Amino acid sequence: MGILTNFIKNDDSSMRVDAAVAPYVFPDQSQTYFSVGFNPPISRQEAMAVPALSRARNLISNTIACLPREVYRKMDEAHIPAPTIVETPDVRMPASVVYAYTVEDLLFWGKAYWQITEVDQFNKPTQAQWISADRVFQRLDYTSKFVVGYQIDSYEVPTEGVGSLIAFVGLDEGVLNRAGLTIRSALELEKASYRFAQEPNPTMILKSSLPLPKERVTALLDAWKTARNTRSTAFLNDTVDMESVGFNSAELQLVEARQHLVAEIARLTGIPEWYLGVNSSGMTYSNVTSERRALIDFSLKPFITVIEQTLSMLLPRGQEVRIDLDDFLRGNPLERAQIYKELIPLGVMTVDEVRRSEDMVKDL
What percentage of the chain's residues is helix, strand, coil (to nearest 5)? Answer: 45, 15, 35
User: What's the chain's average pLDDT?
Assistant: 77
Top pLDDT among 288 and 312 is at 312
Residue 195, classed as helix, strand or coil, is: helix
**CA atoms of 242 and 212, how far apart (whole Å):** 16
Calculate helix-pair angle for 180-198, 51-66, nearest 10 degrees: 120
pLDDT digits 0-9 by tens, 204-226: 677 777 788 888 888 888 887 77
Beta bridge partners of 150: 138
Q: Residue range 268-282: average pLDDT?
A: 73
Other C-beta atoms lying within 10 Å of the C-beta of residue 7: 13
Residue 15: predicted pLDDT:
35
pLDDT digits 0-9 by tens, 18-75: 433 333 333 333 333 334 445 566 888 888 888 888 999 999 999 999 999 999 998 8
Residue 203, C-beta contacts closer than 8 angstroms, at least 6 positions apart: 244, 245, 246, 247, 248
Beta bridge partners of 130: 114
Top pLDDT among 229 and 4 is at 229
pLDDT digits 0-9 by tens, 244-267: 655 555 545 556 767 778 888 888
Strand order of the sheet with strand 78-80? 78-80, 69-73, 319-323
Sign of the alpha-carbon dihedral angle for 310, 315, 320, 325: negative
pLDDT digits 0-9 by tens, 224-248: 777 766 766 666 777 777 766 555 5
CA 243 from chain centre, in angstroms, equals: 47
pLDDT band with cut points at 50, 70 and 90 for residue 364: very low
Using the predicted structure, report yes or no on whether residue 340 has a pLDDT greater than 70. Answer: yes
**Identity (one letter) of the amino acid at 339?**
I
pLDDT digits 0-9 by tens, 176-199: 888 888 888 887 777 766 566 555
- The answer to whether the beta carbons of residues 136 and 150 sit under 8 Å apart is yes
- Counting beta carbons within 10 angstroms of the beta carbon of residue 145, is it exposed (0 to 12), middle (13 to 18) or buried (19 or more)? exposed
**CA atoms of 267 and 183, how far apart (whole Å):** 12
C-alpha to C-alpha distances, 266 to 51, 86, 269, nearest whole angstrom: 12, 30, 5
Residue 103: predicted pLDDT:
96
pLDDT digits 0-9 by tens, 77-101: 888 999 999 999 999 999 999 999 9
